[in-house]
Each structure stands twice: as structure tokens, then as C-alpha cells.
Amino acid sequence: MLASGATPTPAPLGQYTYRLSGSRKEYDVNLGYYLSPSIALTVGMKNIKQTYNSLRADGSIFYTGETDYNGPIVGITGGGSLGHNFAFYGNLSYGFLNGTYKSTNTKFDATFNSTELGIAYRPISYLSFLVGYKYQTIDNKEPNDSVYKDVGLDVTKGFILGANLTF
């Protein structure tokens, strides 16, 4: 799956050449409990919607698909002060997602893994802004009766921006 704005890559399809383009909308909501001032356990829900287009060599679309994922996630997060309202942070999360290929209404299970490292800035006590690097995978487990008969690994990686409210 290509991230939004990614350059499509040509690939052979029989006697044709096609390219893929895609977009992704993702959110998660988490609650955490601090075990110490710098380590917290989290639990939450994740939702991901992916839309992808298969394009002919002339750029026309010959297939559009959509995949939805949702399910619970758990994690651990931690960090430490760098001074002057700056801190470093890191987190790991894992989840069990339910997936659906919308075009065929095929349901499947998937596991979710995420690792993130970065720097946070806290201008006031309950608000922080983050910049970091994230590496995330979704490992699809196709059902035995699936027409696809394969296992897919979706990798998303790159720099991220975020905001946290603490209450």
C-alpha cells in the first residue's frame, strides 16, 4: 500500500502495465495509566481506512478498493526530560484488528504493531506537541475460504506530528 501522495510504481500485469495509488485515514484513541512519572501503560481503539486505485499505463482507473480495520490496542510509553519544556519519548503498541475488504465484504483478522520515537514540547502542563518517527505494520491473516489465499503485510513508516492532552 502506498501512502497518500506517494509516487506509483509500475509493475507487470500479464501483458499490461499498471500502477497503484492509495490514501489512508487513520486514528486511534488511547487512555493511559502512569506506573511512574516516565512510564505509562495504554489501552485504546484503532481505526484505519485505506482506499487504493489500480491505474492503467494511461492513468485511467481500472479498479478501486477499500479496506477497513478496527480493533483494540495496548501499549507502553515512556520518556524523559531534556530541559526547557522538551522531552524525548518512545512507545510500543500491539493490537488485534478486524479487517474488511469492502468490495467483496471479505472479513479477516490482522495484528497491528507500532514503534515510535521522538521529541515532545510541552508549552503548558496539559498539552504537548510531538515530532517523531513511526514504524507500523498490519499483518493480514486471510480466512481459508478467501479468494485471495494470501497473507499481506502492510508497512507504514515515516515522520509524524502529533498533539497530546493530559488530564
Instruction: Please name every residue paired with 17 in a beta bridge, in sequence order, or none if there are none.
Output: 12
* Amino acid of residue 101: Y
- CATH at residue 91: 2.40.160
- 42-71 pLDDT per residue, tens: 999 999 999 888 777 777 777 788 999 999
Give the structural domain span for 109: 26-49+67-165
Local confidence band at 17 (pLDDT 50, 70, 90 cut-offs): low
**How many residues appear in the chain?**
167
Q: How many other C-beta atoms are found inside a 10 Å radius of the C-beta of residue 67? A: 24
Local confidence band at 91 (pLDDT 50, 70, 90 cut-offs): very high
Domain count across the chain: 1
Name the DSSP class of 2. P
